[in-house]
Structure 1
């Protein structure tokens, strides 16, 4: 299931966010840029994905997929790692506040300045997002993204550069994980394989490598 987390999420708990064509599926573009194909999909699955995205459009395919056909452009391939909670000390944080739709402009601003990964206008609808504020200013956040059955991904972990080194991200990861566990689910997360600093942090918190996967950014033909 976790080998293709976007497929598992969109075929299950996140079905309401899914756009489907044959053996291809993607999140609504306002929610997330991710697409996936069925684990047993053949080469013709790219026709299904093209119907979803339209000509000349960019999508990010998560997990295994056949090689794209002629006319498609591989814009970027990002080797990633998937880590799962093994011994994380999850705990609620009394200073963390739940973020809502009114906070989205601030959240997008923080994401754009720190680049933890994609965050769009409706990403907040995917799950719980928590933040820490200093004198009203949002200075750190983390939340929930892909949601395969029984699992929830922790994502958008970021801290304002002026507030780094204070353990804010650690506190928020633990707090988000506590909420996930309270539902009887298990936390997991992704990181770029080249982001060794983040990987070391997550391993120190109690996450362990489960799987290596590729985030393939492609442009459809046309």
Structure 2
């Protein structure tokens, strides 16, 4: 288990524990679109990786990736956003007696909760990536959290969200700690990503024992219609 795999967690996951969900062309990879919207490169500094990504994604496709393409390859930058990667430090993980394991039958409710709260991407098959836990009140799903990207030795806690009517009760923190307990139980370590500007989320996660590891910039791009490809070796 090393921290280095977190420099390119999607690549490490797609070529490792999540290989069954991967589409790969040369040195570029992506999750199946029904699972997650993420793309990854073996080495963002290598123009050949960007050539492979152009083939994998297809001309004119818009995508987001934590890397910037070389300027001479013709990729259009559509925007950027600052994100933060946090890892466990003093996380006191503990199961939650009120948390229930969510399954495929819960996906419509999960998608609706994500739509109303905006924690980040959640697709019809995202639930396959790991354990998802939820809390129900009156039968309705009011909070959830689960696992997403899983590079070797690590698991990303994601989809942390709470119905607006139930915020301020500590449900998100309880679920994060419960998911972390599941991760520790199998011998892995938890990490997560936040928007750098999301003060509330960053405060929550640092308060329960996560620490900032690095800052990233997500770049929204459009694949060139006629990319200037460099020859492959």
Q: Same fold (TM over 0.5)?
A: yes
Partner Cα distance (2:98, 2:192) in 1: 23
Q: 1:69 to 1:155 in 2, by over 3 A?
A: farther
Q: 1:160 to 1:68 in 2, by over 3 A?
A: farther
Q: With the length of structure 1 as denominator, give the TM-score of the two structures.
A: 0.95
Partner Cα distance (1:68, 1:113) in 2: 37
Contact 2:87 2:212 in 1 (8 A): yes
Contact 2:157 2:190 in 1 (8 A): yes
The answer as to 2:16 corresponding to 1:6 is no
Name the counterpart of 1:148: 151
The answer as to 2:26 corresponding to 1:22 is yes
Higher mean displacement: 152-161 or 32-41: 32-41
Higher mean displacement: 196-205 or 71-80: 71-80
Contact 2:87 2:190 in 1 (8 A): yes
Name the counterpart of 1:55: 59
Contact 2:134 2:143 in 1 (8 A): yes
1:75 to 71, 74, 78: 78
**Equivalenced residues, count:** 221
How much does 1:40 deviate? 6.3
How much does 1:92 deviate? 0.4
How much does 1:162 deviate? 0.5
Partner Cα distance (1:69, 1:76) in 2: 18
Computed over aligned residues only, the root mean square deviation of the Cα atoms, in angstroms, reads: 1.3
How much does 1:44 deviate? 2.6
Equivalent residue runs for 1:1-222 within 5 Å:
1-39=5-43, 41-62=45-66, 64-67=67-70, 69-222=72-225
Q: With the length of structure 2 as denominator, give the TM-score of the two structures.
A: 0.91
SS in 1 for 2:142: strand
SS in 2 for 1:31: coil
Partner Cα distance (1:90, 1:145) in 2: 18
Partner Cα distance (1:72, 1:39) in 2: 17
Partner Cα distance (2:44, 2:115) in 1: 36
Contact 2:80 2:218 in 1 (8 A): yes
Contact 1:23 1:41 in 2 (8 A): no
